[in-house]
Amino acid sequence: MAKGLDIGTMNIICSERENEDVVFTRQRNAFLELESSDLTKTMLDSAKVLYIEKDGVINVLGEDAFKFATIFGKESRRPMKHGIISPKEKDAIPMIKLIVERVLGEPGHRNEVLCISSPADPIDMDMNTLYHKKMTEALARRMAYETHVIDEGLAVIYSELSDYNFTGLGISIGAGLTNVTLAYLATPVMSFSIGRGGDWIDEQVSITTGLPKEHVCAIKERGFKLNFEVEFGSPDGALSIYYDALVTYIIKNLNRKLAEITPPKVEFPVALAGGSSQPNGFLKTFERKLRDAKLQIDISNVKQAKDPLYSVARGCLIAARTQEGGDVEEGKTEVSKK
């Protein structure tokens, strides 16, 4: 047995194999404070809400924190910012620990192999990811897992580009960061991240429209379609504008980094993944801008992950099974659960 773990700014996702299926367990990486009372605890218990109580305060965790924030017009707290443990959130590590323990569960045996995704260092921010990598690695090892860490972009390549001998460009557009890896035969040639993702879009649209960020995120996740034939001044119109700006920014920085290396003379496929790549129309917009950019490498084709939200976790599982000496191919049916 082996497991993969994607510790993202918005979601924490575990992947594991059950017979021929790959099963995913997901929780929002968020929490929300509520005043403690016997009635509140009774209601939360009856609804099977994940929470902890400490010093007279209830912290609702995971998906329920996001739902409560949306319902009550509050802002949930996030243990991570820009893809790493938030230095400004004093409760970040204990909250991540609780959510990871719930999602990951106990190992099937001591030293079960676990592969965790981690962001690469950003090229547009003064930020180092080493502390985040070491803390998440230590957390899993305390649970008796044999832990390995890979870049998020490489996990996308493992998940989506097996038909291309794990050669290509893996791009994960997450909430806090966008991660990019160029690999040749599963070996990274270039890895980096940039400090913009879904959170940046939510923040900009919130400023523009006056809507709370949780409401913007909820609109984005309820079937938002990326196009420019929308009502002037609407949230959908603002989302389209800032999605377009994000794609432009990603490709600009990609070309900048490609100019610094000498990649192999082959055609590279491109795989897009991450929760912020899910809107209908995103693939078409990205491919058009990518081909117009005249990159330093030749692109063969651009594809979107079958299930963008779970792609990184699936790639981590493939990496973990490879460490165990198992098959690279992860079965034909994928089932998601929360």
Each residue's pLDDT tens digit, 17-43: 988 899 999 999 999 888 888 888 888
Higher pLDDT pick, 76 / 161: 161
pLDDT score of 231: 67
State if pTM tops 0.85.
Answer: yes
DSSP structure class, residue 124: S
Helix axes 152-160, 311-324, angle to 10 degrees: 80
Domains observed in the chain: 2-29+78-337 (3.30.420.40), 30-77 (no CATH)
What pLDDT, in 10s, does the model give residues 197-224? 999 999 999 999 999 888 898 888 888 8
Give the tens place of pLDDT for each residue, 122-134. 999 999 999 999 9
Residue 223 pLDDT: 80
Please give the pLDDT value at position 332. Answer: 39
Residue 327 pLDDT greater than 70, yes or no = no
Q: What is the mean pLDDT of residues 311-324?
A: 94
| pLDDT tens digits along 273-306 | 999 999 999 999 999 999 999 898 999 999 999 9
Does an H or E element contain 113, and which? Answer: strand 112-118
* pLDDT > 80? residue 228: no
- Which long-range CB contacts under 8 A does 277-281 form with residues at least 24 apart? 277/171, 277/172, 277/173, 277/304, 277/305, 277/308, 278/221, 278/308, 278/309, 279/220, 279/224, 279/225, 279/226, 279/239, 279/243, 280/223, 280/224, 280/225, 280/226, 281/225, 281/226, 281/227
Task: Round to whole Å and give the CA distance between 102 and 314.
Answer: 18
pLDDT digit string, tens, across residues 146-185: 999 999 999 999 999 999 999 999 999 999 999 999 999 9
Q: What is the per-residue pLDDT for 232?
A: 64
Q: Which helix (H) or strand (E) holds 72?
A: helix 63-72
